[in-house]
Chain A
Amino acid sequence: MDGRGILRGLAVTFKHFIASYVDDFRRLGKRYFTQEGVLYRSSPQVEGVFTIQYPEERRPVPENFRFIPFLVYDEGPNGEKEIRCTACGICAKVCPPQCIWIVRAHDPETGKPLKKPAEFYIDVDICMNCGFCAEFCPFDAIIMDHDYELATYDRFATNVFDINRLLKPASYYQQIRPTQYALKAAEREKKAAAKAARRGKAA
């Protein structure tokens, strides 16, 4: 009990204090407000100050990051939106807080159900960002987004996303999740090829 323990502890604090300045000088001009600096400050090599000055600086989110799902559409040759969703309802059935509402489309003449959603709602107030819907979608039609800045003033007016709000192009999907996109596209091509081969055999 002679205070040596405290002094040794203070030495650690002092080292941290010095390190923050040393590192600032060593990386002068590169440490703050640059992409390189942001990456450095979230790497295992970082010494000194960790803080990222949001919103001026943003940490890039990893590909697996998930936040609020969106629906994917492919762009047709004339710019029409080909919605991938077939209204099979798996996402609504697996959703833990039950925040997905789907109305299946019907053929206006025959009244038979179509493989298309007429309406699609996600109540983002209820969504818990678990990502099950995207994980179990067999058509790669619902994907977890990377856009996490959704603050609004009136949740009743804005936080139930309908199909128009939810649709985003496949190019956006490819941009935020390149690895997954390539993997799933290859899978789909393989499946389509197998199907074509089967059909060829049958004919």
Chain B
Amino acid sequence: MTTLVTVPELETRFAGVITPDTRKGYEGYIVDVQHLKDFAKALRDEYGYDYLASLTGVDYLPEGKMEVVYHVYKSTGGPGLVFKVQVPRDNPVVPSLVDIYPGANFQEREAWDLLGIRFEGHPNLRRILLWEGFWGHPLRKDWREPYFEEEGKPYSSRWPEGKHFHHEDRNPFGKNVDYPPGFDPYTWEPETADEILYQAVLKRSEIRDDLRTERVVINLGPQHPSTHGVFRMIVTLDGETIVALEPVMGYLHRNHEKIGERNTWIMNIPYTDRLDYISAMANNFGYVLAVEKLMGIQPPERAEYIRVIMAELTRIVNHLWAIGFLLNDLGAFFTPALYAIEERELILDVFEAVTGSRMMNNYFRFGGVARDIPEDAWKKLVELVTDRLPRKVDELDRYLTESELIKSRTIGVGVLTAEEAIALSTSGPVLRASGVPYDVRRADPYSIYDRFDFDVAVRYHGDVYDRYLIRIDEMRQSLRILQQAIRDIPDGPIMAGKPQYQVRVPPGEAYGRVEAPKGELGFYVVSTGKPNPWRYHVRAPSFVNLTALETMCRGHKIADVVTILGSIDIVLGEVDR
């Protein structure tokens, strides 16, 4: 369970500037918007809260307020601190924290894009997930999607008089999009938007006077096999060397968070599967932790163990995949990838027997897990964890780690220093490969991770090679946790109380964070006591880790971009949400 603290010293020092958040179910401080930057600076430099985990906004429509919520942590570990600023809804302007926490960059752009909060002083405040011509800010509570039916599910048209209709009939193609007044999609030229983009990139690449070289702008993607989906990088080149890089995303955007706010609490669980679809159960985990914190319930022992087993198997699945495809990006065409995927298949077989699905597991519930592990699946799981997987991880290590080809392509490439990694809010393997031993499982333990004996894998060079090595290390540590978990797992119930389809969630806010395979996955939820969440925000590790992409790529050759992107290990389902 993630913990948050209050610092009494702050209250006396910033008397009049910060007030404790006294709303029922809320924590932390409300900071006066004029003094936000001073406060954040003091927090970072004097109190050690140097890691901005999550930044998001909430639209409190009835009170006419917009709120920006910041969760900050110490990179040395320990509980975090939450503070908020409140601004009027009709003119929400908040000073940008990019120069204090550079990791706020994409998150502030996202809050501008989806909620319309302007961050003054942000170097590049453009839309990030939606396209430039989009009308409105969809996460505002009074914004309605074209296929709008009702404010919240379940829809009354389904029962007891549920006559089926096709959505396409109600929203014929061509009429299912709202445009701003005077906007004609047929005469609008997308080039204007691209022009703005290119200018933004070119502006950042300083021209060296001694060599009168020309800058070339190259679009990598969105349709490019190395981007692991639909992802675009606008790269400015000096010869073959990268001077500036601008990631463009949102091609897979479906406004997961708006869907989440229409859903009832339980309906969100299968939707979280579809965020990072390689490691679905880690997503389940983060979401149920956040909601359980609000509900104040604790799953029984056996369920905790099953959760840990599933989360760690998910990590192995994810890292096998990540290593396999990193090698693919390096040009080792599919042999390493398929060796890794073979083992993944066997783990997915276990998932299928336990959860009913190979990838879209939908397995965790509030207060437990959906069903117990069947006998035959358990047998297979134990065999895998104790015998096969350790062997195969060693084989993968023997196969790849010492290969000179891999070493020459990855050592010294895409270096991210420890200071940069913390400042840019990277998390997971990217952060730990840069020499910061920060693992949420250890730094801010949740579930029953404090009982297991494992090491936080850490590597110190911060290059692609270390990001590869750390995944091998982490798989070994996961196997250690798994071996302890299958030894200690007790018998007993797997659910606290009776399974319910309508849960009552008391009003308040909660931030649930887990160490997902790709980094810190956080869910910020706000409840008003209604059947649907008021706010449902996903702090996606892939998305925030991309903030560091430009820093990693600058100065390297264009061919290395593919490798560096592969070493961050993104999944677009999570980046674009």
- How far apart are A86's CB and chain B's nearest CB, in angstroms? 11
Do A66 and B357 touch (CB < 8 A)?
yes
Tell me whether B175 is interfacial, beta carbon within 8 Å: no
A153 CA to B377 CA in the complex, in Å? 36
> How would residues 347 to 371 of chain B score, 1 for a CB under 8 Å from any chain A CB and 0 otherwise?
0010011111100101000000011
The answer, among B158, B269, B371, B400, for a CB contact under 8 Å with A100, is: B158
- Given the contacts A1-B404, A5-B407, A96 and B158 also touching, CB distance less than 8 Å: no
Do B342 and A50 touch (CB < 8 A)?
yes
User: Using Cβ atoms and an 8 Å threshold, which residues of chain A touch B335?
Assistant: 13
Do B370 and A135 touch (CB < 8 A)?
yes
User: Using Cβ atoms and an 8 Å threshold, which residues of chain A touch B402?
Assistant: 4-5, 8-9
- Given the contacts A13-B335, A113-B160, A90 and B356 also touching, CB distance less than 8 Å: no
A46 CA to B154 CA in the complex, in Å? 46
Binds B, one of A29-37, A124-132, A166-174, A187-195: A124-132
Instruction: List the A residue with the shortest CB-CB distance to B370.
Output: A135
Tell me whether B162 is interfacial, beta carbon within 8 Å: yes
Do A62 and B270 touch (CB < 8 A)?
no
Instruction: List the B residue with the shortest CB-CB distance to A159.
Output: B166
Task: Scan residues 54-73 of chain A and give those whose CB is less than 8 A from a CB of chain B.
Answer: 61-66
User: Using Cβ atoms and an 8 Å threshold, which residues of chain A touch B269?
Assistant: 130
Instruction: List the B residue with the shortest CB-CB distance to A125.
Output: B166
- Given the contacts A98-B153, A102-B158, A63 and B374 also touching, CB distance less than 8 Å: yes
A144 CA to B352 CA in the complex, in Å? 14
- How far apart are B210's CB and chain A's nearest CB, in angstroms? 34
The count of residues in chain B whose C-beta lies closer than 8 Å to any C-beta of chain A is: 58
Do A131 and B377 touch (CB < 8 A)?
no
> How would residues 9 to 40 of chain A score, 1 for a CB under 8 Å from any chain B CB and 0 otherwise?
10011001000000000000000000000000
User: Using Cβ atoms and an 8 Å threshold, which residues of chain A touch B24?
Assistant: none
Number of contacts between A and B (CB, 8 Å)?
147
A132 CA to B499 CA in the complex, in Å? 11
- Given the contacts A64-B374, A103-B163, A160-B164, A92 and B154 also touching, CB distance less than 8 Å: yes
A3 CA to B406 CA in the complex, in Å? 11
Do B159 and A92 touch (CB < 8 A)?
yes
Task: Scan residues 74-110 of chain A and give those whose CB is less than 8 A from a CB of chain B.
Answer: 87, 89-90, 92-96, 98, 100-104
The answer, among A16, A44, A129, for a CB contact under 8 Å with B387, is: A44
- How far apart are A95's CB and chain B's nearest CB, in angstroms? 7
Tell me whether A42 is interfacial, beta carbon within 8 Å: yes
A119 CA to B159 CA in the complex, in Å? 11
- How far apart are A46's CB and chain B's nearest CB, in angstroms? 8
Instruction: List the A residue with the shortest CB-CB distance to B348.
Output: A42
Tell me whether B186 is interfacial, beta carbon within 8 Å: no
Task: Scan residues 129-144 of chain A and give those whose CB is less than 8 A from a CB of chain B.
Answer: 129-132, 135-136, 144
Do A101 and B356 touch (CB < 8 A)?
no
- Given the contacts A8-B398, A103-B160, A123-B164, A16 and B339 also touching, CB distance less than 8 Å: yes
Interface residues on A, range: 35 or more
Do B158 and A62 touch (CB < 8 A)?
no
A134 CA to B316 CA in the complex, in Å? 30
Do A50 and B345 touch (CB < 8 A)?
yes
User: Using Cβ atoms and an 8 Å threshold, which residues of chain A touch B346?
Assistant: 42, 44, 46
User: Using Cβ atoms and an 8 Å threshold, which residues of chain B touch A50?
Assistant: 342, 345
> How would residues 374 to 387 of chain B score, 1 for a CB under 8 Å from any chain A CB and 0 otherwise?
10110010011001
24 contacts between A and B (CB under 8 A): A5-B404, A12-B395, A44-B380, A50-B345, A64-B355, A65-B356, A66-B357, A87-B160, A90-B501, A92-B154, A92-B159, A94-B264, A95-B154, A96-B263, A96-B270, A100-B159, A102-B158, A123-B166, A129-B357, A130-B270, A130-B360, A131-B362, A136-B501, A160-B164
Chain B residues within 8 Å of A, Cβ to Cβ: 153-155, 157-164, 166, 263-264, 266-271, 335, 339, 342, 345-346, 349, 352-357, 360, 362, 370-371, 374, 376-377, 380, 383-384, 387-388, 395, 398-405, 407-408, 499, 501-502
Beyond A42-B346, A62-B376, A101-B158, 17 additional contacts (C-beta under 8 Å) are A1-B404, A1-B407, A9-B400, A50-B342, A62-B353, A87-B160, A89-B158, A93-B158, A93-B502, A98-B154, A100-B159, A102-B158, A131-B356, A132-B267, A132-B501, A135-B370, A156-B166
